Structure 1
Amino acid sequence: MQKNERNNKKMELVTKKPRGTEDKLPKEIYKWHTVEKIARNVAEAYGCKEIRTPTFEHTELFQRGVGGTTDVVQKEMYTFNDKKGRSITLKPEGTAGAVRAVIENGLLNDALPLKTYYFTRCFRYEAPQSGRLREFNQVGIEYFGTASPAADAEVIALANDIIKSLGVKNISIEINSIGCPKCRAEYHKALKEYYSQYKDQLCGTCLERLDRNPMRLLDCKSEICSSFKKDAPMILDYLCDDCREHFENVKKRLDVLGVSYTVNPLIVRGLDYYTNTVFEFISNEIGSQGAVCAGGRYNGLVEEIGGNSVPGLGFAMGLERIIMVMENQKLEFEPEKKCDLYIASFDDETSIYAMELVQKLREEGFWAECDISGRSFKAQMKYANKIGATYCMVIGGDEMNTKSAKLKRMSDGTETPVTLDDKFCEKLNTMILEIV
Structure 2
Amino acid sequence: MRHLLPALLLCLAALGSGMAQAQPVPPQVTSEVQAILQAGAAEQARDRAAYGTLRNGEVLAAKERQLGNRMSRELSGVVAREAVIDQRRGQAAAAYIAGVAPSFGPAAYAAAAQYQAAAQPALPGNWYAPASGPAYASPQIRPTAYVAGPAAGRPGQWYENPYAARYGFEPVNYGAPAAALQPQQQPLFTAATGAGMSASTAPDVWDPLEPMNRAFFAFNEVVDTFLLRPIAWLYSFTPGVVKGGVRSAFANLKSPAVLMNHTLQGSFGDAATTVGRFAVNSTIGVLGFWDAANALFDWKGKPADFGQTLHTYGVGEGPFLMLPLLGPVNSRDAVGGVVDGLADPLVYILNDNANLALTAGKVLSRREELLVPLDELRAGSVDYYASLRSSSQQQRRGFLRGDTPASAEQRKANDDLFNEMK
Do both proteins adopt the same fold according to a TM-score greater than 0.5, normalized to the shorter chain? no
Structure (1 or 2) with the larger CA radius of gyration: 2
Into which bin does the TM-score normalised by the smaller protein fall? under 0.3
Q: TM-score by structure 1 length? A: 0.19
> Whose strand proportion is higher, 1 or 2?
1
> Whose helix proportion is higher, 1 or 2?
2
